[in-house]
Amino acid sequence: MDLIVSFVIFMGAMIGCIATGYTMVIALFAGLIAFAVTGYRRGHTLKDVAAMGWSGLKDAFVVIEIMFIIGFITAVWRSGGTIAFFVYYGIKLITPGVFLIITFVLCCLLSYALGTSFGVAGTVGVIFMALARAGGVNEVLTAGVVMSGIYFGDRGSPVSSSAILVAAITKTDLLGNVKRMARSGMIPLLLTFAVYAVLSFLNPVHTVDQSFLHTLESEFSVSLWCALPAVCMIVLPLLKVQVATAMIASIVSGGLISVFVQHMEVKELLKAMIFGYSAEGSLAAVMNGGGMLSMIEIVCIVALSSTYSGIFAGTDLLGSLQDKMLPVMKKTGRFGTMLIMSYVFLGIFCNQTIASMMCSDFLKKPYEHLGADREELALDLENSVILLAGTVPWAIACTVPLGFMQVGYGAVPWSLYLYMVPLCYGIQKMLRGQKDRR
């Protein structure tokens, strides 16, 4: 009964925060107190409960460091003209029949390099939506293409906060997870690209507004140097350079380009890296943002989520609930159960991070009982809850990008990549299971 009360408090606080617009950190903190009290009532001392929470929090320190580094990257990519470079030449490449193809490829590329769905939706997504409206392309379809592109990187980039979170809560190797995601996501990516290619030729852009190009040219140098920070992020990990090293190289190169190519003062650059980049005029709406302070909320969420995991593991609060998941998992399979629980937690908490944490904590023990390792749990999380968050109309992962692009939920069915990955991966696991039983 006490566990149920704790969950009611947690859910009530989360719903209250969502309804009022307050940060979910408040709800997480309220839930943390409730679960800590439950652990105390079940015979654990407060000192022991605190030690459990600290044990989980220690695992998040590396993640938190990376989060702040990502904040620096998102700032210098703006100040150094890296985002402007890709948008400028992306628009230059547009011909009537390839508008949606360019939109998808560019969103995939930038979301993978930056590791952020919201950041790309709020910059490149907004720009291409404006071009779609001006050029007579179906805006709902365009928004679905953008959603597919931004969640390609949100799922599979080594600098994605969701990929880092999943690696932290499952205690798995980040780069190993990224490689497995690349393998399982290749066929869905190609299928999605093929469908969008057909739709692109069926929905050609009639005109391309060149005024935005002139604005970019007047505010930024768009020389090839501007692409260097992205090259560092994409190429160096492929050469087996550590992700943290590649991130630092991207920051350094972006900073140097900001100063020597974009002629930004060092003082302004440092300010942008902390507080976020600030542009003027018409570019402000799509270029402003980034910086270390922009990551504070997600850092708090990761820290509190890791604390939850430590308390749940140490007190075995979820033991009885996890035991009840075993019969369900034996009937529907591990990934089938993950899909069900993904929609349950996404529907309740409306948040990708919380749903990922809850799915991991609820299903970790049943997965182990049925012989699955942590790597499989991590991959199943990435191929389900991380992507499906963008398909739940009231979830933050869906409402925020669509809000940036000013379109309705009609774009969700066109977000093909979000469905292709779970579908293809589920079929693959089912066929593999049938082969193993023979």
Cα–Cα distance measured from residue 354 to residue 188, given in angstroms and rounded to the nearest whole number: 26
DSSP characters over 45-97: -HHHHHHHHHHHHHTTHHHHHHHHHHHHHHHHHHHTTHHHHHHHHHHHT--GG
Only one residue has tokens 């869906």, namely: 398
Cα–Cα distance measured from residue 257 to residue 98, given in angstroms and rounded to the nearest whole number: 31
Only one residue has tokens 């079929």, namely: 427
Taking Cα atoms as reference points, which of 161, 145, 149 lies closest to residue 73? 161
Per-residue pLDDT reduced to its tens digit, 189-230: 999 999 999 999 999 988 777 777 788 888 888 899 999 998
The three-state DSSP-derived secondary structure of 275-302 is HCECCCHHHHHHHCECCHHHHHHHHHHH
What is residue 10's three-state secondary structure?
helix
The pLDDT, as a whole number, for residue 438 is: 47
Q: Do the Cβ atoms of 144 and 414 come closer than 8 Å?
A: yes
Cα–Cα distance measured from residue 274 to residue 192, given in angstroms and rounded to the nearest whole number: 37
Q: Do the Cβ atoms of 292 and 111 come closer than 8 Å?
A: no
Number of residues written out for the chain: 438
Q: Do the Cβ atoms of 178 and 378 come closer than 8 Å?
A: no
Per-residue pLDDT reduced to its tens digit, 161-185: 889 889 888 889 888 999 999 999 9
What element of type H or E holds 118?
helix 117-120
Backbone phi, then psi, for 265, in 5-degree steps? -70, 145
44: left (phi over 0), alpha (psi -120 to 50) or beta: beta
The pLDDT, as a whole number, for residue 225 is: 93
Taking Cα atoms as reference points, which of 96, 101, 148, 139 lies closest to residue 120? 148
The pLDDT, as a whole number, for residue 434 is: 55
What is residue 223's three-state secondary structure?
coil
In the predicted model, residues of the chain with pLDDT beneath 70 are 1, 59, 285, 318-319, 433-438
Distant-in-sequence, close-in-space partners of 186: CB < 8 Å, separation ≥ 6: none
**CB-based burial of residue 182 (10 Å sphere; 0-12 exposed, 13-18 middle, 19+ buried)?**
exposed
Taking Cα atoms as reference points, which of 190, 174, 110 lies closest to residue 379? 174
Which tokens hold the place of 342?
Answer: 């993904």
Cα–Cα distance measured from residue 375 to residue 339, given in angstroms and rounded to the nearest whole number: 17
Which DSSP category does 147 fall into?
H
The pTM of the full predicted model, rounded to 2 decimals, is 0.79
Instruction: Enumerate the β-bridge partners of residue 289.
Output: 277
Cα–Cα distance measured from residue 263 to residue 256, given in angstroms and rounded to the nearest whole number: 10
The pLDDT, as a whole number, for residue 357 is: 82
